[in-house]
Amino acid sequence: MRKLTLTAAAATFGLALAAPAFAQDGPPPSADDRAFTGPRVGVILGYDKLQPGRGPNSDIGSDRKADGLTYGGDFGYDVAVNKFVIGAEG
């Protein structure tokens, strides 16, 4: 298991280093291209694996587990102010 974890970590690190090689050479974007003002919508997707006995107030002898898909969404509105983006999220 440890060998698999180390191999996966090394592969991830290698891919992270290789990613800049895909960058495109071109003119830098103008200030209007970088500024973002307007509404946005996002999707949240994940997986939770909760096991008892992992915290200070847990039931050590319990066999209850709560594994499953976590999902949701978010929306908001952003306004570009100079070099900063300020927004509201709901």
Q: What global pTM score does this model have?
A: 0.41
Backbone angles phi, psi at 37, to 5 degrees: -135, 125
Tokens of 51: 């096991």
* Cα gap 89→79, rounded to integer Å: 12
pLDDT by position in tens, the chain (length 90):
677 787 888 777 766 666 555 556 777 666 665 567 889 899 999 998 876 666 666 656 555 667 888 899 999 998 888 778 888 887
